[in-house]
Amino acid sequence: MRYIITLLAAATPAFAEVPKVVTDIPPVHALVAQVMGDLGQPVLLLAKGADEHDFQLKPSQAGTVAGADLVVWIGPELTPWLDTAMKNRPSGAAALALLDAEGTKRRDYAAGEEGDGHDHTAEAGHDHDAQQGHDHEGHSHSGEDPHAWLDPGNARVWLGLIAAELGRLDPGNAAVYAANATAASERITALDAEVAAILAPVKGKPLVSFHDAFGYFADHYGVDIVGSIALGDASSPGAARLKELRSRMEAGQVLCIFPEVQHDPALVTRMAEGTGAKIGAALDPVGSSLEPGPGAYAALLRGIAQSISDCAAG
C-alpha cells in the first residue's frame, strides 16, 4: 500500500500548536526543518550512523510515529521498517510519501544498469508500473529506485508540497511555511549550480559506488557511475557480481571506486587492489554521518560532489 497525502473526510481543524512532524531520513528532515523554520522542529527517526535499509524502530519511536500530526517520508520502498508503524497510525492521520508525490521525478534501477542512453524516468502522479524484480530479505533488487532526494529538482518540488501540507494542518502559519519553502528552493537552486561546477571536470570518468544509490545524482549531474558492488538495498553482493566488476577494474575501465560510511571499506580495498583504480573517500548517500538540521541537505550533496571530484580529478 502506498501512502501519499491522507486527506481527512471532514474539514481540517486548525491546530492549537504547530503540528508535530516526524521524518524518516536526514535529507527529508532537513527539507522539513527549512519549511518549518522557527515555528518548530521535526523529529528524525534514523539514528546518526545508521543504515536506512536495515534500521529498526525503538518502541518509543513507534509511539512517536503513532502520535505525529504529520509523517513525511520517502515511502516503504526505502524504509520498510517504517511501513508497519505507518499502518498502525490512526485512520485519517496525515502523511506525505515523497516518492509518490505529484511532480516527483522517478527512475528505475534498470536505467543505471543498462546505460543505454534511453530515458527511464517518470513523474509520480502518472501511470508508472515499474518492472519489479526478485526480493531478498524484504528488499527489492530492481524496479523503482527510491533514492530520489539525490536529485535537487525533486527537493524543490517537495519543499512546496511540505509547505502546502503544513499549511493545510496549520492555516494560521500557512504563509510562513510558503515563504520558508520559497527561500529554501532558492538556496537549493544556488546549491545545484555549485555542485554542477564541482563535478564539471569529472563528467564521463568511470566510477564505481559501493551500492546502487546514486542513479538520481548521476543522471542529474552527468556523472558516469558504471557499476556498484552491492545492489540498491546494500545487501551482500554475490560472487558473480564481484568477479564481473573486478574484471572491468583490471581492464582499466574504472577510475575510482568509493566505499560508504555505513559499511566496512575492506571489500572496496580488496576489489581495488592491483587494478589501478583509485579509492575515493567514503560516500554518504543518506547523510547519516552529518549533523541533522536544516543545513544537512546542502552538506549532503556538496559532500558527495566534492568526494567524487577529489578522486576523479586528482
Q: Say if residue 294 is in the same domain as residue 186.
A: no
Q: Say if residue 190 is in the same domain as residue 208.
A: no
Is the residue at 102 inside a domain? yes
Considering 164, 194, 224, which residue would you say is the last residue of a domain?
A: 194
Write the pLDDT tens digit of every residue in 73-103.
999 999 999 998 998 898 889 999 999 999 9
Q: Say if residue 131 is in the same domain as residue 106.
A: yes
Q: Say if residue 226 is in the same domain as residue 189.
A: no
What does the block give as the cell for 212? 546502487
Write the CA distances from 92 to 45, 70, 80, 132, integer angstroms: 21, 11, 21, 29
Q: Say if residue 171 is in the same domain as residue 222.
A: no
Q: Say if residue 179 is in the same domain as residue 207.
A: no
Write the pLDDT tens digit of every residue in 35-49.
999 999 999 999 988
Considering 138, 165, 194, which residue would you say is the last residue of a domain?
A: 194
Considering 161, 177, 194, which residue would you say is the last residue of a domain?
A: 194
Q: d(Cα 117, Cα 70) in Å, to the nearest integer?
A: 39
Write the pLDDT tens digit of every residue in 89-148.
988 899 999 999 999 999 998 644 433 333 334 565 544 333 333 333 333 345 899 999
pLDDT of residue 112: 42
Residue numbers of the domain that contains 286: 199-312
pTM exceeds 0.95 for this model: no
User: What CATH number is attached to the domain comprising 172?
Assistant: 3.40.50.1980
Q: Say if residue 140 is in the same domain as residue 207.
A: no
Q: d(Cα 67, Cα 62) in Å, to the nearest integer?
A: 9
Q: Say if residue 207 is in the same domain as residue 244.
A: yes
Q: Say if residue 205 is in the same domain as residue 185.
A: no
Beta-carbon-side half-sphere exposure of residue 272 (alpha carbons within 13 Å): 21
- Comparing CA positions, the residue from 2, 8, 5 lying closest to residue 92 is 8
Is the residue at 219 inside a domain? yes
pLDDT of residue 273: 93
Q: Say if residue 29 is in the same domain as residue 164.
A: yes
Q: Say if residue 238 is in the same domain as residue 303.
A: yes
pLDDT of residue 258: 97
Give the three-class secondary structure for 210. Answer: strand
Question: How many domains does the chain fold into?
Answer: 2
Average pLDDT for consecutive 10-residue bins of the chain (314 residues)?
40 66 98 98 93 89 96 95 90 94 91 38 46 35 85 98 98 98 98 98 94 94 92 78 91 95 90 94 95 97 98 87
Is the residue at 11 inside a domain? no
